[in-house]
Structure 1
Amino acid sequence: MLEGMMLKLQEVSKVFRVGAFGGKTMTAVDEVSFEVARGEVVSLIGESGSGKSTIGKMVLRLMSAQAGTITFDGDDITKLDKRAYYRKVQGVFQDPFSSYNPIFKADRVFSMIKEVYFPKEDDRVWRDKVASALNDVRLDAGAVTNKFPHQLSGGQLQRLLIARALLLDIDFLVADEITSMLDASTRIDVLNLLADLKLRGLGVLFITHDLALGNYISERTVVLHQGRIVEYGPTEKVFETPEHAYTRKLLASVPQLHRKWEGV
């Protein structure tokens, strides 16, 4: 792991108004604090409704926190220029198909990046950069750039989104359930890709409900329950000697591949 703290959440809370007229409130995230260093993957684990995706959206500035602070390299993210922030921080989400307009070819995600961030870049230089980014995510440019989204697999579309992030030369990636819609073999490929990017110094917040995937990829693990952190520490310690009853319950619910089901 490389030195230096990149992302830091300090007592972050998010409350939603609910009910027919917004007369009630629901605390989705309750005083959450954790850090992600350079070259580190931190897994944010919890069941549906635990608040993990809300945290990811707040990190990506898609929604704001009611309390607490989120800092990136020491700066409050709410005070940073959005365009500059998104040059360094990007997200990839659960359903890759939702990130593409079906009437455009899949590589439009690259042309949009060029229009916004690199309008003066020579077209030939840009094509070389795109090809290099695709190679980094183990895709052949000729096989994917001229296809519509429906002609590509979920794994290919996820890799295209990661390649888009690489073109921005980002420092931090929020990966929100990015493997949940992929088949088993493609899932491992994407996880190994994230591991390769981590070695280059990329920080990753890996949001998942799947404990096995979190154990596979992360150095540290945060376990959320009803918006609060109930377990936080080195992944090996969290999985081998969990201190909280909720964490133990989650671990007990994971199927054991070496054992037959004993139900009746």
Structure 2
Amino acid sequence: MLRFDRVSKVYNVGSFGSDRLTAVREADFEVRRGEVVALIGESGSGKSTLGKMALRIASVSQGTITCDGTDISTLRGNRRLKDYYRRVQGVFQDPFSSYNPVFKADRVFAMVRGEYYRDVPDAQWRAKVHAALETVRLDPQQILGKYPHQLSGGQLQRLLIARALLLDIDYLVADEIISMLDASTRIDVLNLLGDLKARGLGILFITHDLALGNYISDETVIVHKGSIVERGRTEKVFGDPLHPYTKKLLSSVPQFHKKWEEVEAELKAREAADTRIRDYHLPVGQEPPAQLFEADEGHFVQPFPHGARASA
């Protein structure tokens, strides 16, 4: 299990680092093997920072991230870090930035071999690479030996996933990996993630696109201004949203058969009719706590001020 236990990230900003910016505030959730957790929020919400901390690209200011019980911040030395990255890998938004245009695209495999498989014979290594490519639905004959500019964004993205699979990983941090792909390619990558989940891979799927999160995830975590405001089984968060920010996100998804005024009116009517909302209200002026309230079994929401309408 990849576990985030009250994780916070604070940056020193301003002149000489005199000010402090809280990018993530006491995030608490987990990713299990064989499930997809969608981390959803707008740009600047802190969701990518959570992914970077899981990959140790950014340090944790407070709290802990553990991988099967081991605090990843305690991993020291090249051997222990390599063992961790053998289990946890990341794929990011822009596949083109992950490749050096001077080298052929499959050089990313050679880098993995140099770090982890130096003693593997050539024939065995080629078989392993071919198997990884076929897993992500790429034909080795059409991919190997090509330069990045000769491949599409979807092919490059799947190459990066294949590179991660060469390490027999347990967890994948997928940070906006669909956003730069065209519509015809997106579904292929999403279905690939579904196949990897079925094989037992745990996936942290970071996105700002609610439709994608709803399509692929088992659990949904909604992040707003660095705080988790709602989380739970995806069908509960999408089917019965409780926090004003979650409702605002869902109402912002275009519904081409309705005018915006109709959507706004329906949202206000649902809020007025939801008698449970009083259970999550805070006194005016009180700061919302980081810890969430369990509104229903497996469905958690951050208490919010009476009459709150989430702003962007």
Fold shared per TM-score above 0.5? yes
Find the aligned partners of 2:21 and 2:48 in 1 and give their Cα distance: 15
- Structure 2 partner of 1:158: 157
- Structure 1 partner of 2:304: none
TM-score (norm 2): 0.81
Counterparts in 2 of 1:142 and 1:11: CA distance versus 1, 3 Å: same
- Structure 1 partner of 2:182: 183
Runs of 4+ in 1 over 3 A off after TM superposition: 260-263
- Structure 2 partner of 1:82: 81
Describe how 1:85-234 pairs up with structure 2 within 5 A.
85-234=84-233
Match of 1:43 among 14, 19, 38: 38
2:113 alignment partner, SS class:
helix
Quick one: which amino acid aligns to residue 92 of structure 1? V
Counterparts in 2 of 1:252 and 1:133: CA distance versus 1, 3 Å: same
2:20 alignment partner, SS class:
strand
Find the aligned partners of 1:57 and 1:136 in 2 and give their Cα distance: 26
Find the aligned partners of 1:108 and 1:249 in 2 and give their Cα distance: 44
CA drift of 1:256 comes to 2.1
CA drift of 1:260 comes to 5.6
- Structure 2 partner of 1:15: 10
Quick one: which amino acid aligns to residue 112 of structure 1? M
Aligned residues: 257
CA drift of 1:21 comes to 2.2
CA drift of 1:79 comes to 2.1
- Structure 2 partner of 1:32: 27
Counterparts in 2 of 1:252 and 1:141: CA distance versus 1, 3 Å: same
* 1:205-234 Cα distance to aligned partner (Å, 9 max, x none): 000000000000000000000100000000
CA drift of 1:63 comes to 1.1
CA drift of 1:261 comes to 5.4
2:64 alignment partner, SS class:
strand
Q: Structure 1: where are the runs of 5+ without partners?
A: 1-5
CA drift of 1:22 comes to 1.4
TM-score (norm 1): 0.95
2:17 alignment partner, SS class:
coil
Describe how 1:46-85 pairs up with structure 2 within 5 A.
46-80=41-75, 81-85=80-84
Find the aligned partners of 1:20 and 1:96 in 2 and give their Cα distance: 34
- Structure 1 partner of 2:269: none
Radius of gyration: which is bigger?
Answer: 2
1:182 alignment partner, SS class:
coil
